[in-house]
Structure 1
Amino acid sequence: MRRAVLLYFLVILSENLAASNKPRRTVFFQDVDLKLFKESGFDSLSSLMIRDDFGQLVVGARAKVVTLSLDDISKKTSEANWTVSPADKALCIMKGKDTEECDNFIRTLHTIGDGKMLVCGTNAFNPSCDNMNFTNGKISLEGKIEVGRGKVPFEPYQRFASLMDGNTLYSAASSNFLGTELVFQRHGLNPLKTEMKRSWFNEPTMISISLVEVSKNSKDGEDDNLFLFFTENAVEERRDNIQVSRIARVCKSDLGGKRTLQKKWTSFMKARLDCPFGDVGSPSLIQDVFLLQDQNDWTDSIFYAVFTSNWDSSSACSQSAVCAYKLSDISQVFSGRFLTERDTGSWETYTGVKPYPHPGSCITDELRASGVMTSLNFTDQTLLFAKNHPLMEGAVTPITGRPLLVRAGPRFSKIVVDQVTTLDGRRHQVLFIGTDFGWLQKAVKFDGEDGRVIEELQLFQTPQPVNFLQLSSKTGQLYSSGSNSVVQVNVRDCSRYTSCDDCLIARDPYCGWDQVRDQCSSVVGASLGSMIQSWSDGDIRMCPISELKNPAIAHLTIGVAQLLQCSPETNLPIIWHFSGNILLPGARHTVLDQGLIIRPSYSDSGLYTCETVEIVKSKVHRKIVVQYMVQVQDVNTVVRNLRTAVITLAVFASLLLFFSVIRHLKAKEQNHTDCGTV
């Protein structure tokens, strides 16, 4: 019988764990040990940049740039204002824009090769750029205004992407006042841009654009790549307005063509980016991407990307996911077959003869040996093919063919990945995911297991999207921002794990139990010594045995509903035991997230235990939260006991009064005797 009950318990528990969809631990704003920067007049935060070299966080907002100390961002170190001229604002308003839009929103902050910073703003729908210096602890703009069209959008809140390589800026942004033309281009000495063709960009939705550089250092001398992630309407679909996620690639050494594709990318290729989750046929739309580059072999580098299945944030059915892609798999897709557009408008696999070299290829040592030194040496036949065939047949699929993590509820908006070395010398990835409600989710993925969120932190007091998320390699701190505030979080903080059991069973790669200091501490930079860690299976048998506290005494009354409170520090499901047996819900017992409601009878007297239950690799781990020794009485007994107590108290009071009078009389008689003697 007990085995059947236990089996039932495990089935129910598994269902609860699957359905709860809760992070293991939830920490609210007031309980988070974070640094916060927010001041009056600081709003519409629109760019963020870490400068580890001089210990500053540079923040762009409306009409100003401020610098904050990386060690403590609540300390503002300097400020530079860049306001719009009255003439530019008047012209902007005359073109139909409102007063707020006709300001200067600082959208781009980049470090230039000489250590200066490039600053670009919308400047009342007239994008402009300037250089900024940091000297003697202060920032200052040079005042040498340059045209910023194509470097940042005209609109203050339109999505775009940019990347600085030395003194060369790459950007993917709208290039017209209406914001309808997306151009991916390189600025500077050898400017290049994409063709204005439907097959290159088809009504990009601008939901997300990310630009990432990959340094190869490959043996065959192949050039470095730039990868662009975006969403657009799929030209290859027979139905209209089917949104898909894309990954595009270009070569950094691309110089354009000599006649065909002059000053245009000759290496631009794109492919569908799949992240299968949610309803069949529902589009997975990319929101952000992070590259974890392998320094030993570039083909082992991994892109981590966040997707949403339904970008309508008001939808209760919205889901988000994290998918990971290996660069070797991406390269294989770009080395494959192309799609071609027929006269009927349909897209089919190209089966004809492809020109040499493979269209979209980067220059390699093999090509240099054959006399092809740059893209200017490509034949017109090769370039014409590349111009008309930018879309690959194959789709880039995630590692293992499925997402690392799928969650329902608030949409994922940003992602950063950190690599942590545990005490045994192994490296593990920790995912930090921002949501559109201002929460930070901390997730881990171990080999052979699904990803899981071990903690979520509320970053902002008021719900707002996480717009920026960056990790400093110098401080080990995570910096994030919404629309009007910046926060700093110590991702290595293990103090919220208050016991050895909790520290180990959380399987947080950052944390281990320090047996000397008797606390959960960061393992980053620590040696084995007194530290213990069990990331593989959360083996709490390694912990010292802790003594249980005496149970609390609870006096309950028959038939009167009363609460036995149980508030664990984690979001794990709780199970109640009564006199050693699992307590199942019934007519007299109601199990809640925060306790147990009892409508007791005499038979309900006894020991009640509330414990959290967690399943790790099929092992069930239990931890006692609280125990109660319940004593049940009926109302009549309570009244009789109360009456008896009142009578006893009255008798006791009368006796006290009687003895007090006797003592008073004796004292008086003694005083009289003493006076007579005198």
Structure 2
Amino acid sequence: MKTGGTECEPVERLSWSFTGGQGRIRLSLAHPGLLVLGMVLLVLLPSGESVKQSVPRVQLSYKELEQSGSVSVFLSPTDGLHSHSVLLDEERGRLLLGTRDSVYLLDPDHLSRAPRKISWPAPRDRVEMCKLAGKNAHLECGNFVRVLHNYNHTHLYTCGTGAFHPMCAFIEISGRREEGVFQLLSGTVESGRLKCPYDPRQPFTSVLTDQFLYAGTASDFLGKDTTFTRSLGPPPDQHYIRTEISEDYWINEARFISAHPVSDTYNPDDDKIYFFFRESSCDRSDKSVLSRVARVCKNDVGGLRSLTNKWTTFLKARLVCSIPGPEGVDTHFDELQDIFMLPSRDEKNPVVYGIFTTSSSVFRGSAVCVYSMADIRAVFNGPYAHKEGPDHRWVEYEGRIPYPRPGTCPSKTYDPRIKTTKDFSDEVVSFIRFHPLMFRSVYPLTGRPVFTRVRVDYALTQIVVDRVMAEDGQYEIMFLGTDAGSVLKVVSITQENWSTEEVILEELQVFQTPTPILSMEISSKQQQLYVGSGAGLAQVSLSRCHLYGQVCAECCLARDPYCAWDGHTCSRYISASKRALSSDCSREQTN
């Protein structure tokens, strides 16, 4: 076989298998110098469906990562990060970290270098009120920075919890990192209600685009009223919009995950914000948690007589991530934890990666499901769901649908007479008020997860994905954070019959003290992964090719798309057009 243009020598192989109580285990060994490859566990799920679980090829502790020169860690000079936000700006070479009472400007190439810092504590009286309300002085009664976004070329917009009294402000930033301007503009401090959560530990999302801030958060101190809002915006286009509060089946006890601007057509009037969340079922007989994808039009300014200052284009659909079982009984991973949008050549069609966990009391498990924007749009263009009353079930709506179709953006694409959402008829506005849910669900591209972890002592929490071109096709490498403080580096290979092969290339302990992974950002340009936890922020190289071995066969059998044999060593391979992941000898090893 060839890797990186260099031919490898044949490899001797020994393999055997046996059957145990939980399934069949197959071991394959090459000559003693090679890694143990191909160990596969077949775990029986409650539905009776078995799922293959591969074992990491390489497992590295924090000390081993440090010795290999693959990790650099920033530890907050105070007492950990607890809750934080990260802004990676590859274009300007900036990395910003929001923590308790502080915003740091870090060197994205060397986290260990001394950072610049802005101190931004909560007002003393707010801290005292927070303590009197029974909140934890250390973990809750501070200004935990949860929002960090680029506003324009010279300013950032930031918000913090403000000791359960959210506040926002602008930061001026320009020039070189070491001596440029980096200051909080105290005259711009304003209320952060509906822009930032009260509770530093509450799931939350926000995105700033075209100077508008879209946020999914709780609007009250107790965290009961959850809503998706739009605020800011350049004058005179400032239109504060939120979800309808009186209808609990719009959004019910939501935990927001992420939000993304996506163009649906070549007309910018059709641009939408897609956001992802999980919520409690509003059916009284069903206390389950459901995962959702929702969308609103960017040019939505609310209704004229009804839904004033409320979304008039809000629609939502269920995201399904499950393993099909016998007799139609699926094993569901129903609690969405994280979303990553992988760009494609067509900016209107990014690939959607989601991490889900199960709420089952029978077994513990996590899964990664992949969705296409085409499938998501098809569901939003399909039938609506209808509910006669609180005690009734959702059914397909079969009545007349008003014009223009509810959820459609006001646009010349459809009707030049309708210039804004205030031009929608009362019938359209009334319809969407009571029919925000789509009847059909969104299913994964392969019909099932591309990666599954069940009956392990951790759950998946975060995901980022890097696209790598190889000689035999295109591969997506997933980096998965866990609540045990580790990061899995995984490649999932889809076969012609839509089955998937999971290959865990690495399992990395990126912090000296294992703590749950709270955030991850990836820089394909710098080939770095930034991992945040309560212990700090770590910078980890995407590849460690030299650890795979000293001979060509070992490099080949690792099956790491980042690595190739250059004739002398296993090293980072740059030319995507010649890199090969599935080579002849790796295929032989797994047959």
Q: Structure 1 residue runs of 4+, over 3 Å off?
A: 5-12, 219-222, 277-283, 363-366, 525-528, 619-622
Q: Is the 8 A contact 1:322 1:405 kept in 2?
A: yes
Does residue 564 of structure 2 align to residue 482 of structure 1? no
- Name the stretch that deviates more: 185-194 or 274-283: 274-283
**Partner SS, residue 361 of structure 1:** coil
- Match of 1:176, SS state, is coil
Counterpart CA distance in 2 for 1:320 and 1:527 is: 34
How far off is 1:56 after superposition? 2.6
Q: For residue 186 of structure 1, what is the aligned residue in structure 2?
A: 230
**Residue type at the aligned position of 1:68:** L
Are 2:563 and 1:511 aligned?
yes
CA distance in 2, matches of 1:470, 1:289: 12
- The CA distance in 2 between the partners of 1:25 and 1:364, in whole Å, is 53
Tell me the CA shift for residue 380 of structure 1. 0.7
Deviations 1:139-173 (A, max 9, x none): 21111211101111111211110001132111000
The alignment status of 1:215 with 2:267, answered yes or no, reads: no
Residue 456 of structure 1: aligned partner: 507
- Verify: 1:397 aligned to 2:443, yes or no: yes
Kept in 2, the 8 Å contact 1:29–1:461? The answer is yes
Whether the 8 Å CA contact 2:468–2:576 is kept in 1: the answer is: no
Gap change, CA 1:119 and 1:360, over 3 Å in 2: same
Maintained 8 Å contact 2:557/2:589: no
CA, structure 1 residues 488+221, in 2 after alignment: closer, same or farther (shift >3 Å)?
closer
Per the alignment, do residues 8 and 230 of structure 1 end up closer, same or farther by CA in structure 2, a change over 3 Å counting? closer
When Rg is computed on C-alpha atoms for both structures, the one with the higher figure is 1
Give the CA deviation at 1:65. 1.2
Is 1:305 equivalent to 2:347 in the alignment? no
Change beyond 3 A, Cα 1:39–1:375:
closer
Q: Secondary structure at the match of 1:400?
A: coil
Q: How far apart are 1:441 and its partner, in Å? A: 0.8
3-state DSSP class of the match of 1:333?
helix
**Distance (whole Å) between structure 2 residues aligned to residue 441 and residue 200 of structure 1:** 36
Match among 57, 62, 78 for residue 29 of structure 1: 62
Equivalent position SS for 1:187: strand
Distance 2:429 2:353 in 1: 32
Aligned equivalent of 2:491: 444
Counterpart check, 1:106 vs 2:158: no
The CA deviation at 1:316 is 9.1
Partner of 1:351: 398
Alignment of 1:327 with 2:327, yes or no, is no
Which one of the candidate residues 143, 157, 163 is aligned to 1:118?
Answer: 157
Cα drift, residue 123 of structure 1: 1.0
Q: After superposition, what is the alpha-carbon deviation per residue over 1:562-599, rounded to whole angstroms, capped at 9, x for unaligned?
A: xxxxxxxxxxxxxxxxxxxxxxxxxxxxxxxxxxxxxx
> Which amino acid counterpart does residue 539 of structure 1 have in structure 2?
D
Q: Number of residues paired by the alignment?
A: 525
The structure-2 alpha-carbon separation of the partners of 1:450 and 1:363, relative to structure 1 and needing over 3 Å to count, comes to farther
Secondary structure of 2:429's match?
helix
Rounded to whole Å, the distance in 1 between the matches of 2:258 and 2:489 is 22
Separation in structure 1 between the aligned mates of residue 398 and residue 257 of structure 2, nearest angstrom = 32
In 1: Cα distance, 2:562 partner to 2:225 partner: 45
Question: Structure 1 pair 12/160, CA: closer, same or farther in 2 (3 Å)?
Answer: closer
CA drift of 1:270 comes to 0.5
Partner of 2:446, secondary structure, is: helix
Give the C-alpha shift of residue 116 in structure 1: 0.9
Higher relative contact order structure (alpha carbons within 8 Å, sequence separation ≥ 6): 2
Distance in 2 of aligned mates of 1:80 and 1:230: 32
Q: CA deviation at 1:423?
A: 4.5
Please tell me whether the aligned partners of residues 79 and 138 of structure 1 are also in contact (alpha carbons under 8 angstroms).
no
- Give the match for residue 474 of structure 2: 427
User: Alpha carbons of 1:373 and 1:407: their partners in 2 closer, same or farther (altered >3 Å)?
Assistant: same
Between the aligned partners of 1:116 and 1:246, the Cα distance in structure 2 is 33
Match of 1:620 in 2: 589
Partner of 2:182: 139
Paired residues of 1:49 and 1:59 also in contact (CA < 8 A):
yes
Matches of 2:201 and 2:15, distance apart in 1: 55
Q: What SS does structure 1 have at the residue aligned with 2:182?
A: strand
Aligned-residue offset at 1:16: 5.5
Q: Distance in 2 between matches of 1:387 and 1:514?
A: 61
Change in CA separation of 1:359 and 1:275 when aligned onto 2, cut-off 3 Å: same
Q: Is 1:388 paired with 2:438?
A: no
Following the alignment from structure 2 to structure 1, what is the Cα–Cα distance between the partners of residues 258 and 129? 32
What amino acid maps onto 2:160 in structure 1?
G
Structure 2 unmatched ranges of 5 or more: 1-13, 28-37, 43-52, 233-237
Q: SS where residue 492 of structure 1 aligns?
A: coil
Give distance in 2, aligned partners of 1:442 and 1:220.
38
Question: Shift of the alpha carbon at 1:283?
Answer: 4.8
Summarize deviations over 1:490-526 as a string: whole Å, max 9, x none. 10332221232222122211111111xx111122247
TM-score (normalised: structure 2): 0.84
> What's the CA shift for 1:473?
4.2
Which residue of 2 is the match for residue 633 of structure 1? Answer: none
Pairing partner for 2:584 from 535, 539, 549: 539
Q: Please give the secondary structure, in 2, of the residue aligned with 1:261.
A: coil
Q: Show CA shifts across 1:212-271 (max 9, x none).
A: 22134x246661121111111223x56331111111111111121111211111110011
Map of 2:346 onto structure 1: 296
5 Å-filtered alignment, 1:222-371, equals 223-235=270-282, 237=283, 239-277=285-323, 280=330, 282-296=332-346, 298-299=348-349, 301-310=350-359, 317-343=363-389, 345-346=391-392, 347-369=394-416, 371=417
Assess, with a 3 A threshold, how the Cα gap between structure 1 residues 534 and 167 changes in structure 2: closer, same or farther.
closer
1:309/1:9 CA distance change after superposition, 3 Å: closer
Partner Cα distance (1:447, 1:71) in 2: 34
- Establish whether residue 74 from structure 1 lines up as the match of residue 75 from structure 2: no
Residue 40 of structure 2 corresponds to 17
SS at match of 1:30: helix
Q: Which ranges in structure 1 are unaligned for 5 or more consecutive residues?
A: 541-615, 623-678
Q: Are the aligned partners of 1:63 and 1:81 in contact in 2 as well (CA < 8 Å)?
A: yes
In 2, the alpha carbon distance for the partners of 1:143 and 1:87 equals: 18
| Larger fraction in strand | 2
Percent identity for Structure 1 against Structure 2: 34
In structure 2, relative to structure 1, the CA distance for the partners of 1:251 and 1:504 (3 Å cut) is same
Change (3 A) 1:16 1:429: closer
Gap change, CA 1:7 and 1:453, over 3 Å in 2: closer
